[in-house]
Chains A and B, each alone.
Chain A
Amino acid sequence: MDPVILARLQFTITCVYHFFFVPLTLGLSILLALMETMYVRTGNELYKRMTKFWGKLFLINFAMGLVTGIVMEFQFGMNWSEYSRFVGDIFGAPLAIEALLAFFLESTFLGIWIFGWDRLSPRMHAATIWIVAIGANLSAFWILIANSFMQEPVGYAIENGRAVMTSFFALLSNPHLWVQFPHVITSGLTTAAFFILGISAYQLFYKKRDSEIFLRSFKWGAVAGVIGISMVSLTGHSQAQYMVETQPMKMAAGEALWETEDPADLSLVTIIDEDQHRNTFDIRIPRALSLLSYNRFDGEVQGINNIQQEYEALYGPGNYIPPVTVSYWSFRAMVGVGSLMLLLAFYALFLMLTERLPKANFFLRWMPFAIALPIIGTSTGWIFTEVARQPWIVFGIMRTEDAASPNVTVSMLLTSLIVYTLLYGVLIVVDIYLLAKYAKDETQINESFGDAVA
């Protein structure tokens, strides 16, 4: 077995799993901060109960994100030591700063928020959850600086066979970062909105009780959902346009576009024959890819084969084509669930504004399942952006096959892969059990604050 494949598989599993929890933390922390601020400003107990109800679910989710995050930090050194040596000068800095600036903030103030209801003034207490929200979203900012360097290396020079930082400012102003960060942040908001919509719908439809808190929550979810998914679509669009310019191979793989076209058509359904470099079945919308790429009905979009030739001239002989089928379908899945969420969010807002919500039985019945949509969207989005960058680990300067630890054997990789998979498998069962328990449980909604543990 190829150790690099195993290391990649391990990274995929641990990273996607970690990212099940991260977006909800990003978005829900902001919404919780807003809820508690409303409570402090209006004195309305309803907001306090909302903060408490969603806060409990937030904490269960946060714990999972926290513990699976440590694995990510250790993994670069454990499985990718050559990568760590090669880019450590650049890549390590945002990671260390993330811990120093964001993790300390997040963890310290979350501890105060959880246990500090009776120890701080309401105003101070609300401030702590704001700091948690800022810390969480700051951590996303710093880790995306690191990831953006892998997508688009900037501010570096190669010295003595390794990349060294020449401009910290260039890392911070990496254009890739500024199309990626808004996309990730707003997808966090969307994830939180659908979480709230789904659970509120469950409570309204299946439990038919305490409708005040869940009607209000539904309202928040609908508004946040519409804002969130609209922004996700817009930022995703700008990201795709940027990708056409800077990582044309990624776009070509995402569209299964083998030959350069002008004007270019957008794929609806394509069945790919990767070995023969062709598609066996293809339905495309004429000119739509040019439209999406350049906001006009013509314009050249490069194909995989042409870029391959170009890269061979640039980087030497080799295969520069990423796994096209995985890239294509993960891209499809992301855009597909994104479009579905756009519809659902606007429909939820429509139901709310026209006061048809209580009678929208079909919608309420099925909305709880939509909680999974943003999770599918963010997972497939990351799979697309990482897989379609292959064979590069750092675009243009380091190949994934050269990045793994030379001293870590197949049996070590297999052991760790099995251990993580088993552990994560058990944990997800416990996590879902607890989330479901707290999402369903009605007693706690009416429970007063600061109750001692039974």
Chain B
Amino acid sequence: MDLNTVWFILIAVLFTGYFFLEGFDYGVGILLPFLGKDEEERGRIIATIGPHWDANEVWLITAGGAMFAAFPNWYATMFSGFYMALLLMLVALITRGIAIEFRNKDIRPKWRSTWDWLIFGGSLVPPLLWGIAMANLLLGTPIDADMTYIGGFWNLLNPYALVSGLAFLAIFTLHGAAFLSLKLDEPVLDRAFTAARRIWPAALVVGFFAFGVGFFVTDMYERLGVSLGLVPISAGAAMLAAGWFIRKKQGGWAFVMSGICIAFSSITFFVGLFPRLMVSNLNPEWSLTIYNASSSPYTLKVMTIVAAIFVPLVLLYQGWSYYVFRGRVTRDSKLEY
């Protein structure tokens, strides 16, 4: 396997990690105003992700940095091309981060409810936009011979991208509900299960619909061999299983299943994309690939050594942080230091 492929895989892993981890963070933010009936309950809901959300977001920052380092043309084309979408995403991420950190800093109800709604909005936008962005990478966008994106914002809002955006949104929300069912106690716990039960059918339908539309408008499945066909099938099976476990009120398993569904969907996407990074719908020759968009072999080698040392380390201590904060956030939990 050449280093270009290694870095494609690593970036796919980083995005998958981001979708898995921030997926439930976004879900929690989206559910916040609906599951928390009062101030104290909403504080507890936020506290479930309080110690983790920032480190989870670093998966995205690292994915962006890795794109820049390993495939500078991908980074340059995508970020300058998806300009308005990314601006919107940045506004959402800034607002959400500040809202999570500042909501507890004042006890006035008005202050807290304002930030809570901003957490909601800031959590709602990124899943939608990532769904739209990812779908467009695969579907194809107007990219010219100089690797420059020559479309506008509206090119991104095609039906396939919108369905994908909704699928991301629904599945992340479900994932968040499953996470909350693991981390809270009564009475919010019960509401989390109810929410999960209600979201599940929507996530199921829109998720399968997105995969179905993808079948007709992209070449994703032509590239999947028989063995790789298991990945999307497993993603679908995990989604079905998640519904079953929610019904059985087994939060742990439901969370595992929504997580598997996210991870396998992400893998399906990246396998379908490989070895391309951004498809050009003007001329297949103009698509960005892991070869024409990459850094030099030397830089890839340096980065591979760095990643081989530090990625396992990061996994280790981030895992430890979840261990430190294991258990449910209850009424007696200390939410602030």
Contacts and interface: CB of A to CB of B under 8 A. Distances in A.
Interface of A: 52, 55, 59-60, 63-64, 66-68, 70-71, 73-74, 76-79, 81-82, 84-85, 87-93, 95-101, 103-105, 107-120, 159, 164-166, 168, 405-408, 412, 415-416, 419, 423, 427, 430, 434, 437-438, 449-454
Given A103-B62, A111-B50, A452 B86 contact: no
A451 B334 contact: yes
17 contacts: A67-B98, A71-B90, A78-B86, A85-B73, A85-B147, A89-B295, A92-B75, A96-B68, A103-B61, A107-B58, A114-B337, A115-B334, A120-B324, A407-B80, A407-B148, A412-B83, A438-B105
B324 A119 contact: yes
A107 B54 contact: yes
Contacts of A96: 62, 65-66, 68-70, 303
B93 A92 contact: no
A164 B206 CA distance: 44
B43 A405 contact: no
Given A89-B299, A437-B106, 5 more contacts: A74-B64, A76-B75, A77-B75, A115-B325, A423-B95
Interface stretch (B259-267, B278-286, B307-315): B307-315
Nearest to B93: A70
Contact of A452 (B52, B102, B307, B333): B333
B65 A74 contact: no
The DSSP consensus for interface residues of chain A is helix
B303 A73 contact: no
Contacts of A168: 298, 302
Interface in B54-84: 54-55, 57-58, 61-62, 64-70, 72-73, 75-81, 83-84
B86 A74 contact: yes
Given A119-B324, A168-B302, A85 B72 contact: yes
B5 interface: no
Interface string B92-118: 011101100110111100000000000
Nearest to B44: A453
A407 B51 contact: no
A452 to B, nearest CB: 6
B275 to A, nearest CB: 19
A107 B25 CA distance: 15
Interface residues on B, range: 35 or more
Contacts of A64: 98
Given A77-B79, A81-B80, A453-B335, A114 B58 contact: no
Contacts of A71: 90, 94
Nearest to A116: B324
Contacts of B147: 85
A34 to B, nearest CB: 18
A104 B87 contact: no
Nearest to A119: B324
A231 to B, nearest CB: 30
Interface string B296-322: 101100110011001100100110010
Nearest to B68: A92
5 closest A-B pairs by beta carbon, nearest first, are A88-B72, A77-B79, A92-B69, A92-B68, A96-B65
Contact of B68 (A55, A63, A76): A76
Contact of B296 (A70, A85, A165): A165
Of residues A113, A114, A117, A437, which shows the largest number of chain B Cβ atoms within 10 Å of its Cβ?
A114
Nearest to A66: B97
B299 A101 contact: no
Contacts of B104: 453
B79 A78 contact: yes
Contacts of A87: 72
Contacts of B80: 77-79, 81, 405, 407-408
A108 B321 contact: yes
Nearest to B303: A93
Given A96-B68, A415-B87, A85 B76 contact: yes
A100 B54 contact: no
Given A67-B93, A71-B94, A77-B78, A104 B55 contact: yes
Contact of B90 (A60, A74, A406): A74
B258 to A, nearest CB: 23
A389 to B, nearest CB: 21
